[in-house]
Chains A and B, each alone.
Chain A
Amino acid sequence: RKEVEQDPGPFNVPEGATVAFNCTYSNSASQSFFWYRQDCRKEPKLLMSVYSSGNEDGRFTAQLNRASQYISLLIRDSKLSDSATYLCVVIGNNNDMRFGAGTRLTVKP
């Protein structure tokens, strides 16, 4: 089993749709969680951190479920510019960093 697993995708959604991604992790001692966005041929950029209490930033909501060991990202009112690959990142108790394989999102007009 991979240490971090994401929805396989790709997700193709119309503008304005709501889309959700999940990411599961195997190390129960993991400490920090993030969602990154990566555009084609570019480096990943931090989208948002994920906190136990959940956090929201505009159209984006991230949640952490420690009991079930997964994090989620919800995007509301999708825009064309949201098209990208979304990576979940999990930091373990040894400061090791693990990526999910990424979920590709394409928002269409």
Chain B
Amino acid sequence: GAVVSQHPSWVICKSGTSVKIECRSLDFQATTMFWYRQFPKQSLMLMATSNEGSKATYEQGVEKDKFLINHASLTLSTLTVTSAHPEDSSFYICSASGLGSGNTIYFGEGSWLTVV
């Protein structure tokens, strides 16, 4: 079945540095990818929606210059947290849908980011 792979699963970085998270669709063409953030004991919060080859659409309150999203191919989207701070520590998850996903949205395994 359709699979979405996310990498890295865990990352610890120093405050002020940038971190890149990758999201890959392994056996379907992900025309749309979503990025979410989830703080402990809270629901998933949509950060942005990206369509392949287009600029991402960010949700209100999400800084596009801080959370850079690139969706340059049908199988890969990246989220870069720039100048990370401790308050950016969270669980980041991507999801994808598209040709071959059976009109279903599949999630990556998630990435735990800790900024120290």
Give the residue of A41, A89, A102 whose beta carbon is less than 8 angstroms from that of B105. A89
Query: Which residues of B44-103 have CB atoms within 8 Å of chain A's CB atoms?
Result: 44-46, 49, 91, 93, 95, 103
Name the residue of chain B whose CB is nearest to the CB of A38. Answer: B44
Secondary structure at the A interface, as helix, strand, loop or mixed, is strand
Q: How many residues of B contact A (CB 8 A)?
A: 22
Q: How far does the Cβ of A41 sit from chain B's closest Cβ, in whole Å?
A: 7
Give the residue of A32, A44, A49, A95 whose beta carbon is less than 8 angstroms from that of B107. A44
**Given A46-B104, A49-B104, A41 and B43 contact (CB-CB distance below 8 Å):** no
Name the residue of chain A whose CB is nearest to the CB of B43. Answer: A101
Secondary structure at the B interface, as helix, strand, loop or mixed, is strand
Contact A96 B109 (CB under 8 A): no
Contact A97 B103 (CB under 8 A): no
Known: A41-B112, A46-B106, A97-B105. 9 other contacts (CB 8 A): A41-B91, A42-B109, A42-B110, A44-B44, A46-B104, A96-B49, A99-B45, A100-B43, A101-B43
8 tightest Cβ-Cβ pairs between the two chains A and B: A101-B43, A43-B107, A43-B110, A99-B44, A102-B43, A44-B107, A43-B93, A43-B109
What residues of chain A have their CB less than 8 Å away from a CB belonging to chain B? 32, 34, 36, 41-46, 49, 87, 89, 91, 95-102
What residues of chain B have their CB less than 8 Å away from a CB belonging to chain A? 6, 32, 34, 36, 42-46, 49, 91, 93, 95, 103-110, 112
Can you list 12 contacts pairing A with B, beta carbon distance less than 8 Å? Answer: A42-B109, A43-B108, A43-B109, A44-B107, A46-B106, A87-B43, A91-B105, A95-B32, A96-B49, A99-B44, A99-B45, A100-B43
